[in-house]
Structure 1
Amino acid sequence: MSHDTAVARETVLGIDIGGTKMAAALVSADGTILTGDRIPTPSGGADEVFAALGGLIDRVRGDASPLAVGIGSAGPLDQQHGLVSPVNIPGWRNFPLGDRVRALSGDVPVALGLDGHCFALGEFWSGAGRGAHTLLGIVVSTGVGGGLVVDGKPLLGQSGNAAHIGHVVIDQAGEACACGSYGCVEAYASGPRMVARAQRSGWRTGEDVDAEVLAADAAAGDEFALAAFDDGAQALAAGIVATAVTVDLTTVVIGGGVAKAGPVLFDPVQAWVKRLAQLPFVTDLTVVPAQLDNAGLLGAAHQAWATLR
């Protein structure tokens, strides 16, 4: 037996699935990525999307025989039955992802979780949340997702959809949210919603711009861009503090595309958290940027290792 084969036997396969990209990697027990690759998420029907994922899995796996597979997917999902219906992958509705991946992987254990949960687990395992007891991970991009790690374990809830912090209602008279409710965190803090608010106030009206442009203008001191980030930060802080007083948090890690804005997001978030977190047990809440580019992938792998313990 070659040394490589021996190493390969001590791996799991981590898979991270979103509307923009799919990634997969072989991951060792200490969280080292041994081989990995990613592809754009194809549009098309259920089987077309899965065929692309299957090709990615085959390339990454090579001759290795992973002991288990962990999948982090955009939601919502039905964890009990292994079904996914990602909002941003229209071809998959109640798609039996767990069973289809198990059939490809030689009938090893398959753990399926929300991408937000996997992000939080990855940062907890080997990123900005290392050493934390209880952690909230938030992904701020086209939506606002999240995951909780409590006492070192992911808090999944009865359906596997816990910690949807983007849909904590923070303003009962607030703006309509895509989920059908009103005044959700996501309605103020997602990238597209911050851009829309800034444009309504007079920033770059009529231009086709995104949150990256908004962040650059905010960093350059544009008052409309700064105001939009402040509104988004206040909403995030309200959701963070609501979660903190509920589960007695110590650490919050924020990642996702919008978090790359840096201080224009984190400075007002930290200021609003300080203002809103007044009870003694949440006054020391730490809010930090994510450290990993592949937290979701590592969190998915962490789930796979957990099935073997």
Structure 2
Amino acid sequence: MEMRQLSHFVAVAELRHFSRAARQLHLTQSSLSASIRALERELGGALFYRSTRRVDLSEAGRALLPAARRALAAAEEGKDAVAGVHGLLRGQLTIGAIQTLGRIDLGRVLVRFHRRHPGVTLRLHHAGVATLVDETVAGSVDVAFVDRPLGDRGDQVDEHPLGSEVLVLAVPSNDPLAALRQVRLTDLADREFVEYRADSALRARIDAICRDIGLRRRVCCETDVMTDLVDLVATGMGISLIPQHAVRSAADRVTAIRTDPSIPRELLAVTAADRRPTPAAAALLALVGESVNALP
């Protein structure tokens, strides 16, 4: 069984189509079919059920697919590890991140990383904390930048602390509260709030603090995009508890006020606990650590 055959099998399994898989692999369809047939002969059974319209995995194919993916991933990890020994990083680095990382300028860090390691292709995607933790544990994300709480699978990741920040109350600049330097959260029971997505770790942290002090917020609108939330505050839809850096892009329209009690937010990177970070992931974590340590 050859790695080449396994990569051909995985491509067909994922696309469920021989001609599309052949195009993706830059092969002729006949060459791809011959490779799959040779693999089936070696394993002693059909891996796919073929029809004129679709391709489905057989029971044997379904059994092989996870092992094939692991084998290909291990091969790539081996190549990356050897390249790392020689000081050359290569391959792909998949990064997950929540939308608001506060003091961490991830975009600038990634630019610096690319200049140092141009052989690594970066893939960045955003999601909620629980999803990013799940993806990190599963191996589809190499390193994720998140905040607490981590969710049900938090015990399956290694944590790399990145510091903390304090949330602020964002209000329209023409709001009477904008004249204050600090506001008690319990004084806001009669105000309407614009809130970040209910399934986010940020929202969970805010909800916990408000529950502890007995504040029941009147939520008039929810959004899953932080820039939209800030715009809604600016237009007077409501007030909001958010990371301070999110207000900076609208500083002429939105005022940030300290709260009593304060709402701390811990930032961290996570990697899978059952395997070492890839050389590229380790290099990125080191670079982020440098950036965080350089902050005032």
Hey, which of these two has a bigger chunk of strand by percent? 2
* TM-score greater than 0.5 by the shorter chain: no
TM, length-normalised to structure 1 = 0.29
TM, length-normalised to structure 2 = 0.30
Hey, which of these two has a bigger chunk of helix by percent? 2
Q: Say which one has the larger Rg.
A: 2
